[in-house]
């Protein structure tokens, strides 16, 4: 009933633990590997699923993620990044919801993500909400900071205490910041805020 969808690059350290943890809650897995990945991410992904697709990111996260939606064969999709960790209570909620008789009346689930860097909150960006579980057939939009193209009014909001944890180190965040500075959109945002 539920496909785990991931877009990954150089995640050999995080990927096995996350997939082993989420695996009991999903029916299928699709892992899209950025062709710039140069560690063992792809071979690790292939130990979990035959649905491993290589893609060129090309400054467009949505295009890469949408490639991974093409082989989805379940009614529901749950998209995660390798450095995210859904709490067990959240996974149980998702599992129960999509199995419920009324679940098809809604298009997705809005989930609260908690972001901490070195265990510390990051101000207004510590908590954010987005559609992370959705009915198959929808697409991602946004070249950077992508999201699923569903009007939130057609979704159900998961209780805020059922979190998707995004806890990372300052070093990992700094690497991400450097990577995002390759995007013209991100450079424009930084320039505008200075």
pLDDT score recorded for residue 194: 46
Q: Between these two residues, 103 and 108, which has the higher pLDDT value? A: 108
119 domain-assigned? no
With a cut of 80, say whether residue 184 has pLDDT above it: no
100 domain-assigned? yes
Quote the mean pLDDT of the chain.
91
Q: How large a percentage of the chain has pLDDT more than 70? A: 93
pLDDT score recorded for residue 12: 96
191 domain-assigned? no
- The span from the CA of 30 to the CA of 24, in Å, is 15
- CATH classification at residue 35: 3.90.550.10
95 domain-assigned? yes
151 domain-assigned? yes
Residues 6 or more apart whose CB falls under 8 angstroms from that of 41 comprise 8, 9, 10, 11, 12, 15, 33
User: What pLDDT, in 10s, does the model give residues 15-70?
Assistant: 999 999 999 999 999 999 988 899 999 999 999 999 999 998 777 889 999 999 99
160 domain-assigned? no
HEC string of the chain equals CEEEEEEECCCCCCHHHHHHHHHHHCCEEEEEEECCCCCCHHHHHHCCCCCEEEECCCCCHHHHHHHHHCCCCCCEEEEECCCCEECHHHHHHHHHHHHCCCHHHCCEEEEEEEEEECCEECHHHCEEEEEEEEEECECEECCCCCEECCCHHHEEECCCCCEEEEEECHHHHHHHHHHHCCCHHHHHHHHHHC
| Residues facing 128 on adjacent strands | 113
- The span from the CA of 157 to the CA of 176, in Å, is 28
The token pair that represents 188 in the structure block: 């424009």
- Is the CB of residue 7 less than 8 Å from the CB of residue 81? yes
**Nearest in space to 75 (alpha carbons), one of 119, 108, 42:** 108
pLDDT score recorded for residue 65: 94
The total of structural domains in the chain comes to 1
Q: How large a percentage of the chain has pLDDT more than 90? A: 76
- The span from the CA of 100 to the CA of 93, in Å, is 11
Q: What is the reported pTM?
A: 0.90
pLDDT score recorded for residue 28: 97
pLDDT score recorded for residue 56: 84
186 domain-assigned? no
User: What pLDDT, in 10s, does the model give residues 155-170?
Assistant: 999 999 999 999 998 8
- Is the CB of residue 36 less than 8 Å from the CB of residue 11? no
184 domain-assigned? no
pLDDT score recorded for residue 193: 45
Domain that holds residue 71: 2-111+131-155
């Amino acid at each position: 009933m539920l496909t785990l969808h991931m877009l990954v690059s150089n995640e050999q350290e995080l990927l096995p633990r996350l997939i082993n943890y989420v695996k009991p809650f999903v029916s299928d897995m699709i892992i899209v590997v950025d062709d710039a990945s140069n560690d063992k991410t792809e071979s690790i992904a292939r130990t979990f699923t035959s649905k491993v697709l290589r893609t060129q990111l090309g400054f467009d996260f949505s295009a890469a993620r949408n490639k991974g939606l093409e082989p989805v064969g379940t009614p529901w999709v749950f998209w995660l990044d390798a450095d995210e960790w859904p709490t067990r209570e959240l996974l149980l909620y998702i599992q129960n919801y999509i199995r419920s008789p009324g679940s098809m009346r809604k298009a997705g689930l809005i989930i609260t993500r908690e972001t901490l860097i070195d265990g510390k909150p990051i101000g207004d960006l510590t908590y954010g909400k987005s559609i992370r579980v959705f009915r198959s057939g929808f697409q991602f939009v946004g070249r950077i900071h992508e999201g699923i193209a569903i009007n939130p009014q057609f979704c159900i909001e998961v209780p805020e205490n059922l979190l998707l944890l995004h806890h990372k180190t300052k070093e990992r965040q700094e690497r991400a910041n450097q990577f995002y500075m390759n995007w013209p959109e991100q450079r424009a945002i930084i320039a505008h805020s200075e």
